[in-house]
Amino acid sequence: MRARPWQDELLELKRPSILALFAHEARRELWLALGFVVFMLLLLAPLARAFLPERAAPSLFGLRLGRAHDPYDDVRGWLEPLLWVGGVALIGARALRRVRPALRRAEVECERLAAEGERAAASGEVLRGAILLQQAVDLAVDPERRRALEAALATRRAGSASTATPASPHAADGRLIDGARIRLSRRLGEGSMGVVYLGVDTLLGRELAVKELSESAMSDPAGRERFLREARALAQLSSPHVVQVYDLIEDGGRTYLCMELCAGTDLAATLRQQGRLPPGEAARLGAQIAAALQAAHHKGIVHRDLKPANVLWADAQTIKVADFGLAKLRDSSITREGTVMGTPYYMAPEQVLGRAVDERADLYALGCVLFELTTGRPPYVGGFSEVIAQHGGPGEPPDPRQHVPSTPPELAALITRLLAKDPAGRPASARDVAATLTELAAAAPPPAEELDGTFVRGG
């Protein structure tokens, strides 16, 4: 560690992460300080009285005229200030000697976390890499190193928040695959694993969405496995609210997943365009999402990345859950406990903490989506690390009525249950949630926008 003015070293203790390391290094001094305070408050006076001679009370003809004089009163005025100043100075001097070792340890931990974050990002765990880099930034002592890590973290955050991938080197217009049966006409969008095209099945005469695995994902065994896992997950599901998979095609050294085409936008776009939805509409859409989760959970599939951007409009009334690229299958071993995957705004506490997840993690994400549909914002907002800390930290889940007081109490109570930090506090199953939301949607009055015919669902 480069020599720095001691004033600058002390200023580093203002940062909670550095202060925690200092407290560990100076734990003996902390115990010593506690013992010194106990001695001064409880033991000093009795010990002083035991060693100082007591002066007898004045008497007349053998009768005491008052109480004996306390000898400690004669020395209290100078002894206590002297001991307080001296004790604090000695313990403080000992503690200051622990500052530099704490900073050295912070630098070592910083480099370890940064290296682990880079390895995680390189293996495709973008979110976990960003979390580790944030921890490294919090421990960086050297200003230049901190700036470099912050720049790397900004890149990781962008990678976690954005789904952009490099464009395919092949032109989409008119490209033919699967023996010229499928024609790719134009690009629809880009996902975390590849590019999505509008395709036409020339044999059956129908349009479909074709996701092409990106070259970077093909070269990464874990990335390829996630792509295939999405295909396997979707192939097992049969639900009107899950995007249907048609085929998996290997052609010209590239891999394509052919899926049902949803003509509308997604719920994220709806929220951006319209803001929060009426409670009845939020409950109706939530019931459809819960039905999709019910079908997945029945097959032992946990989505693990449910969010508005992964819920597509099939038509003006129907939505479908898509993007099972992070799904956990019942027999899957690719994701171990300790691996963090998902989107920060919708991650269950057990996901944030890298613990094993089950179907209840999807129910938590559904609670986050319902909260956003009802209030127009996710349950937790702020910077990257703030959102992660709020999901994984203690405390009661937020109540949507704090933001929108007109939210029906029954809907607010269900959302709060779904957002329980302890998985055991959430509803028993997606089936129960779907049933409750269906009842709430049926009981809700139609919004004013629907009455005059101007309310629009989906793109």
The answer to whether residue 81 scores a pLDDT higher than 60 is yes
Residue with tokens 């989506």: 369
Q: Is 300 left (phi over 0), alpha (psi -120 to 50) or beta?
A: left
The answer to whether residue 20 scores a pLDDT higher than 90 is no
Lowest mean pLDDT among 54-58, 133-137, 217-221: 54-58
Which CATH architecture is the domain 267-451 placed in? Orthogonal Bundle (1.10)
- Write out the DSSP string of 45-70: HHHHHHHSPPBPPPEETTEE-SPPB-
How large is the average pLDDT for residues 206-214?
85
Lowest mean pLDDT among 18-27, 53-62, 312-321, 398-407: 53-62
The answer to whether residue 241 scores a pLDDT higher than 70 is yes
Number of other CB atoms surrounding residue 168 within 10 Å: 19
Number of other CB atoms surrounding residue 286 within 10 Å: 29
How large is the average pLDDT for residues 415-436?
95
- More confident call, 420 vs 143: 420
User: Within its chain, how far is the Cα of 168 from the centroid?
Assistant: 31
pTM of the model: 0.62
Which CATH architecture is the domain 175-259 placed in? 2-Layer Sandwich (3.30)
- More confident call, 286 vs 192: 286
- Each domain of the chain, given as residue ranges in start order, spans 175-259, 267-451
The answer to whether residue 212 scores a pLDDT higher than 80 is yes
Please answer whether residues 175 and 184 qualify as being in contact, where contact means their C-beta atoms are separated by less than 8 angstroms: yes
Question: Cβ neighbours of residue 378 under 8 Å, at least 6 residues apart?
Answer: 345, 346, 368, 371, 372, 387
For the four alpha carbons of 372, 376, 380 and 381, in that order, the dihedral sign comes to: positive
* Backbone dihedral angles phi then psi of residue 185, each to the nearest 5 degrees: -95, -45
Rg for the chain, CA atoms, rounded: 32
* Backbone dihedral angles phi then psi of residue 106, each to the nearest 5 degrees: -60, -40
Write out the catalytic residue numbers.
Answer: 305
